[in-house]
Structure 1
């Protein structure tokens, strides 16, 4: 079975040519994941990863939350702008992927600031008593609305939520939309659109990123 494609592989390849190269540890994670993981296409990759790192360095967050660690690539991107006393908490449901991520986190200069939790995100989120400056949702698509509703009350006034795969390989553009995950993503996009607490922009980076912030009065 071939990996699902992003909306425009050609545009993504062109964007990559003009995006700064990853540092060595990120390159190591990408090479390992591509060589050994059956779902390597789930890795954020250079263009999206650099966007996450840029946003983190601009926001200078104290508390970052990631739902869906995978092999650790995106967490390290999100950690780049952490304040010196800041923390990144990342949640992964699969122990095998969590172990891979732990290995790479241990090689990072941010290792003492990264906290990996293994288990059900819906159960773990309430145990993390922080106000989040930056949140990245990249986990089970049917869980997006639930995670969003759990986290909106804990989002900092100037905080940002990013939700990944909101184009879901182009399947949300089909008429009618087929497939459980595509339907769930479309429902999530509609849910955020109707939320009068927030405003959002859908970015066509890779497989789609929805950026959400609280409305300013």
Structure 2
């Protein structure tokens, strides 16, 4: 969802950091070969993720929802030299595609793929994290938060994508089959009211929340 005019949006992108060549290649191949290519973080949001990661300079990163690996590579740009990034996805058909681009990057040996249900995998991760990015099934955002909050180091950051859900979070009535919208409304309320984090919502693309553990 775009909250700004196309001209202003293009101006913002033009005056932000350039998209790395490897990520341009990843984008092209995703659009050529993979279903639902719009799920990519994309140039502008990718640069936002990159600079936020550089500000945090995490030793450990967790990503919930890998897709084709674009956002993982953006987040990896800010990792410490001996840092590690764990990324979880349920789609085994994308595993080799992700690995290809991870290994073409400077961070290949630092990125660990986990295949399966994140609700089952997260409790088994024997580490804590400085930075977490949630971009998976919206119905489970609140459950992911509860699983990761105790694994998040003090001062650590949770980034949550799609929190404005094309503006649907303003809806007061939902279609019976729409489970994502009420789940995101509940999640946004959770982040606002939970005393363990301080939160700000950014109107970037489809909405990006930054929550800091206090």
Say yes or no: TM over 0.5.
yes
Give 1:192's aligned residue. Answer: 191
2: CA distance, partners of 1:15 / 1:101: 29
2: CA distance, partners of 1:16 / 1:173: 27
Give 2:142's aligned residue. Answer: 145
- The runs of 5 or more residues in structure 2 that have no matched partner are none
2: CA distance, partners of 1:207 / 1:126: 29
Does the Cα contact within 8 Å between 1:12 and 1:206 map onto a contact in 2?
A: no
1: CA distance, partners of 2:141 / 2:84: 23
Give 1:182's aligned residue. Answer: 181
State how many pairs are aligned: 211
- 2:10 partner SS: helix
Q: For 1:29-178, list aligned pairs within 5 A.
A: 29-178=26-175
Moved more, 165-174 or 145-154: 165-174
2: CA distance, partners of 1:52 / 1:197: 22
Does the Cα contact within 8 Å between 1:7 and 1:170 map onto a contact in 2?
A: no
Does the Cα contact within 8 Å between 1:63 and 1:134 map onto a contact in 2?
A: yes
1: CA distance, partners of 2:5 / 2:162: 14
Deviations 1:26-55 (A, max 9, x none): 111111112222211110011110011101
Deviation at 1:173, TM superposition (A): 2.0
- The runs of 5 or more residues in structure 1 that have no matched partner are none
1: CA distance, partners of 2:37 / 2:198: 32
2: CA distance, partners of 1:31 / 1:186: 33
2: CA distance, partners of 1:30 / 1:21: 14
1: CA distance, partners of 2:21 / 2:208: 25
Q: Given the alignment of the two structures, is residue 22 of structure 1 paired with residue 19 of structure 2, yes or no?
A: yes
Q: For 1:199-214, list aligned pairs within 5 A.
A: 199-214=198-213
Does the Cα contact within 8 Å between 1:19 and 1:46 map onto a contact in 2?
A: no
CA RMSD between the two structures: 1.4
1: CA distance, partners of 2:148 / 2:11: 35
2: CA distance, partners of 1:38 / 1:96: 11
Deviation at 1:208, TM superposition (A): 0.4
Deviation at 1:8, TM superposition (A): 4.5
1: CA distance, partners of 2:12 / 2:115: 34
